[in-house]
């Protein structure tokens, strides 16, 4: 049922629900959802929580992932996902949009928008995708101060510290940073852009009691592993950050190419979500049922010529 019904809204805050999923047995699978429709489809597929990627948000806006967007723009996406799917969301908080006070503001805005968790990274602006070269890092102490500030500001939000240090400081440098971030209050660690299974295994061995997140992004530096394989390596969460947007963008490009070529969408009809499927996914009839003054909508019968 739609989020308009108070009786259908979750009783527990999103942070508490995310934490319960994280503490449950097995690896927490977090598919990227770049808008409300993706959130609905992921929920229908059986997922219990979602990931909101900064790269997916900026790309969907036609922008690069360089820390350009603002706290309020991200909150718009968080509200979309939270309202549509009702699931707890891990949100990409980039560098926290500034220093300690800015980080605290981000935490308050994201939590109020419906986020269940956020991760902060130890890069400096302009930040880059974690799988690109020449990333500039904050000092470990500067990042630890941001983590501590985030912990002070949150009510229930799960705070995850991401380190991009493996590429420039080696595995030992990334591990040393992670330990400092845990001391500052981080609930979990996200070691970004590890390049071998052995690195994932060594990171886990070095931090045996810490919750760890793995990033299974396509076309990056990390080898392709399944959720089960990450679980066997001892990881507690795995994200697929931009997968939904990559697939949607590829098919959308095919649509525009065909439309420009043919002057019609016929070539892509079989790959489209039908009107009936759309209405079922967004729960049109349930929304209409909340107001008896609205006549029930019936999708027209449609056949390709």
Residues serving a catalytic function are: 51, 65, 92, 94, 119, 121, 129, 162, 192, 215
Phi-psi region of 87 (alpha: psi -120 to 50; beta: other; left: phi over 0): beta
Q: With beta carbons less than 8 A apart as the criterion, state whether 7 and 217 touch.
A: no
Residues 6+ positions from 143 with CB-CB distance below 8 Å: 120, 122, 161, 163, 177, 180, 181
Q: Are 275 and 302 in contact (CB under 8 A)?
A: yes
The one-character DSSP state at 28 is: E
d(CA 210, CA 206) in angstroms, rounded, equals 9
Positive or negative, the CA dihedral 122, 128, 130, 134 is negative
CA distance 299 to 291: 19
Which burial class, exposed, middle or buried, applies to 235 when counting CB atoms under 10 A from its CB (0-12, 13-18, 19+)?
Answer: buried
Report the C-alpha gap between 30 and 103 in whole angstroms. 23
Q: 225 Cβ partners below 8 Å, 6+ apart?
A: 197, 214, 216, 233
Let me know: does 268 contact 255? Beta carbons within 8 Å: yes
């Amino acid at each position: 049922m739609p989020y308009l019904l108070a009786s259908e809204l979750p009783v527990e805050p999103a942070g508490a629900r995310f934490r319960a999923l994280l503490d449950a047995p097995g690896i927490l699978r977090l598919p990227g959802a770049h808008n409300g429709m993706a959130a609905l489809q992921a929920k229908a597929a059986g997922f219990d929580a979602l990931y909101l990627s900064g790269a997916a948000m900026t790309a969907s806006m036609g922008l690069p992932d360089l820390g350009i967007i603002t706290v309020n723009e991200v909150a718009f996406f968080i509200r979309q996902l939270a309202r549509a799917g009702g699931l707890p969301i891990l949100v990409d908080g980039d560098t926290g949009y500034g220093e300690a006070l800015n980080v605290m503001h981000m935490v308050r805005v994201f939590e109020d928008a419906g986020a269940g968790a956020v991760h902060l990274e130890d890069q400096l602006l302009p930040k880059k995708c974690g799988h690109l070269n020449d990333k500039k890092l904050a000092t470990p102490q500067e990042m630890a101060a941001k983590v501590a500030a985030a912990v002070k500001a949150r009510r229930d939000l799960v705070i995850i510290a991401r380190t991009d240090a493996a590429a420039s400081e080696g595995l030992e440098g990334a591990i040393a940073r992670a330990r400092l971030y845990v001391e500052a209050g981080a609930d979990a660690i996200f070691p970004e852009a590890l390049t071998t299974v052995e690195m994932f295994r060594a990171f886990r061995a070095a931090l045996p009691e810490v919750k760890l997140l793995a990033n299974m992004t396509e076309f990056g530096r990390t080898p392709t592993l399944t959720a089960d394989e990450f679980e066997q390596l001892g990881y507690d969460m795995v994200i697929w950050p931009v997968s939904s947007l990559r697939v949607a963008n590829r098919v959308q490009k095919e649509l525009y190419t065909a439309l420009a070529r043919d002057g019609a969408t016929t070539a892509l009809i079989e790959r489209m979500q039908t009107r009936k499927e759309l209405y079922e996914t967004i729960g049109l009839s349930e929304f209409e049922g909340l107001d008896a003054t609205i006549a029930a909508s019936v999708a027209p019968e449609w056949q390709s010529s």
